[in-house]
Amino acid sequence: MTADVSYDPRSGATAASVVHTTPAEVEQLVARAAAAAALVGQASPATRRAWLAAGADALVDNREELARIADWETALGWTRLDGEVVRAANQMRFYADVAVEGTYLRAVIDPATATTPFLARTNVPLGPVAVFGASNFPFAFSVFGNDTASAIAAGCPVVIKAHPAHPLTSQRTFEIVHAAMQAAGAPDGIAALVFGYETGTALVQHPAITAVAFTGSQAGGLSLWKLANQREVVVPVYAEMGTVNPVVITPAAGHDITAIADGFVQSFTMGSGQFCTKPGLLLAPRGSGATAAIAAALDSLAPEPVMLTSGIAASVTRGVAELQSAGATIAAQTPPAPGGWSSPAVLLSAPVDLLQRESRLLEECFGPVGVVVEYDDLDEALEAVDRLQGALAASIMIGEDDPDAASVLSRVERKVGRVIVNGWPTGVAFTWAQVHGGPWPATSSPATTSVGAAALDRFVRPVAYQGLPDQLLPPPLRADNPWGVPRRVAGVLQPGAQP
């Protein structure tokens, strides 16, 4: 395949296709990014904010066109996609604000003492970053999504590999945002868009690439991670990958099962179940009627959801069959839909002891598929959680003054990057505190997050300056603090000029 073909998942009809980037073009684009690295890295955070804000404005100005193209290519629905364009724009503004606030630089100045020299530290940008767009969020985790916005905010140019599930959306988004950023004064090399699987491989292997950001499947993320580890100069791969996000319902919470059942169905079928935070396994006390209640909630759902690609639709069918082979049984599923790449939304149930024997039940099944397990004893449920892979998020449903809340929390939090109480893991707010990451293999770099203020931390490294005269120090460390960043001076935190 030498082109990414644009398909309508609702019918399988094809439109235009986008030709894959050639190796010579990749060389040229990476060289342009490398040439822009010093300009982008040395620009003040406020200057980078102006560039990102121009891109964000352009996204919002073109939201109707972008959402229309994306809805045709992804079938995720115009309303959601229109909102996602706005979200992507707000993310760009948020990361730019985080950069201007300046804590991410972790500036520290240790004046000389009788026994130690003058030492000052700041974070510096890594250089060109390869960003792999995700299939499931054509705006928020794609061309100018979280990874790109946080990398540019941190001072790194990006080379973006478009996901083949929505080539036209990717191309049009890039054109609009890149032109607006350039018009605002950003160097041409601040961002580039490339197409093709081999192109992605070449990017990860390119000596000028200093980091890789990826959102997608475990197979995809781990193969990039392995590739990067084979480089002469190994670079970090920030792969945020799919795993099972568990839900534990304590005995005290079990009385509210109808509301929980509705919430579970809504959460695991949202976006056709194509969220990396989809709750895949629900553990409920036996006697709570969880299985029947969830089955009933699913029965009232519309016909089969439409998947992004024929490949994903096939993998859902395969995944359900694997879960059945492992001993789970189908408790409910949505009625068939006509044509296109639809897959039934499926609820499976399994006996709790099966989780001790069948590892397939502990792995992700991408798509609108949920597994419910009723336990006799809470310890059985927690032992199943112990056996799960590291995950992005987990939900705990607890009651008032729940005697089990603290112990369930302490067992569950070991496994995840985010714990939700009496809520669902889908929906990832981009705020200062957010963590969208988790223990291996939810993330290949488990102390990092791809969403939230700390997303910038992935694209910088610290440098210490010993004995440098003031005029040679980078701006965050100069006596007059021209960027107004918070700093620790002689061990004491000093606030910055920005709130």
* Active-site residue set: 240, 276
The count of other CB atoms within 10 Å of the CB of residue 188 is 14
Task: Give the type of residue at 283.
Answer: L
Pick the closer one to a second copy by CB: 338 or 491.
491
Q: How far is the CB of 50 from a second copy (least distance, A)?
A: 20
Q: Residue 493, interface with a second copy (CB under 8 A)?
A: yes
Stretch of 249-257, 263-271, 367-375, 411-419 lying at the interface with a second copy (CB under 8 A): 411-419
β-partners of residue 212 are 130, 237
Q: Of the candidates 291, 434, 450, 481, which one interacts with a second copy according to CB under 8 A?
A: 434
Q: Residue 422, interface with a second copy (CB under 8 A)?
A: yes
Q: Which of 466, 453, 478, 491 lies closest to 102 in space, CA to CA?
A: 453
- Can you spell out the DSSP letters for 135-177? SS-TTTTSTTSHHHHHHHHTT--EEEEPPTT-HHHHHHHHHHH
Q: Of the candidates 449, 450, 455, 485, which one interacts with a second copy according to CB under 8 A?
A: 449
Q: Is residue 441 reached through a cis peptide bond, with omega within 30 degrees of 0 on the bond before it?
A: yes
Q: Residue 499, interface with a second copy (CB under 8 A)?
A: yes
Per-position b or e across 453-482, b if 16+ CB within 10 A of its CB? bbbbbbbbeeeebeeeeeeebbbbbeeebe
CA distance 497 to 344: 54
Chain positions 317 to 356 lying near a second copy, rule: CB under 8 A, are: none
Q: Residue 468, interface with a second copy (CB under 8 A)?
A: yes
Q: Of the candidates 258, 325, 356, 466, which one interacts with a second copy according to CB under 8 A?
A: 466
- The token duo for 206 is 């390119």
Q: How far is the CB of 47 from a second copy (least distance, A)?
A: 18
Q: How far is the CB of 471 from a second copy (least distance, A)?
A: 8
Q: How far is the CB of 113 from a second copy (least distance, A)?
A: 8
Pick the closer one to a second copy by CB: 287 or 462.
462
Q: Of the candidates 259, 302, 447, 497, which one interacts with a second copy according to CB under 8 A?
A: 447
Stretch of 104-112, 146-154, 158-166, 240-248 lying at the interface with a second copy (CB under 8 A): 104-112
- Can you spell out the DSSP letters for 281-349? EEEEETTS-HHHHHHHHHHTSPS-PBPSSHHHHHHHHHHHHHHHHTT-EEEEEPPP-SSSSB---EEEE
The four Cα atoms 149, 240, 321, 285 give a dihedral, to 10 degrees, of -110
- The token duo for 24 is 């010579």
Q: Residue 60, interface with a second copy (CB under 8 A)?
A: no
Q: Residue 452, interface with a second copy (CB under 8 A)?
A: yes
CA distance 8 to 16: 11
- The token duo for 88 is 């992507």
Q: How far is the CB of 448 from a second copy (least distance, A)?
A: 8
Q: Residue 116, interface with a second copy (CB under 8 A)?
A: yes
Q: Residue 472, interface with a second copy (CB under 8 A)?
A: yes
Q: Of the candidates 10, 68, 106, 360, which one interacts with a second copy according to CB under 8 A?
A: 106
Q: Residue 391, interface with a second copy (CB under 8 A)?
A: no
Q: Of the candidates 5, 314, 433, 497, which one interacts with a second copy according to CB under 8 A?
A: 433
Distance of CA 74 to the CA centre of its chain: 18
- The token duo for 296 is 């009933």
Residues 194/29, Cβ–Cβ less than 8 Å: yes
Q: Residue 407, interface with a second copy (CB under 8 A)?
A: no
Which residue, chain included where needed, has tokens 């534990």? 248
Q: Residue 497, interface with a second copy (CB under 8 A)?
A: no
CA distance 392 to 127: 27
Question: Which residues make Cβ contacts (< 8 Å) with residue 380, sequence separation at least 6?
Answer: 352, 353
Stretch of 17-25, 360-368, 373-381, 439-447 lying at the interface with a second copy (CB under 8 A): 439-447
Pick the closer one to a second copy by CB: 13 or 433.
433
Q: Residue 10, interface with a second copy (CB under 8 A)?
A: no
Q: Residue 450, interface with a second copy (CB under 8 A)?
A: no
3-class DSSP assignment, residue 113: coil
The site map against a second copy for 32-51 (x = CB under 8 A) is ------x-------------
CA distance 298 to 305: 12
Q: Of the candidates 128, 138, 189, 390, which one interacts with a second copy according to CB under 8 A?
A: 390
Pick the closer one to a second copy by CB: 289 or 399.
399
Footprint on this chain of a second copy (rule: CB under 8 A) = 38, 101, 103, 106, 108-110, 115-117, 119-121, 124, 229, 233-236, 390, 405-406, 409-410, 413, 416-423, 429, 431-435, 437, 439-441, 444, 446-447, 449, 452-454, 457, 460-469, 472, 486, 488, 491-493, 495, 499
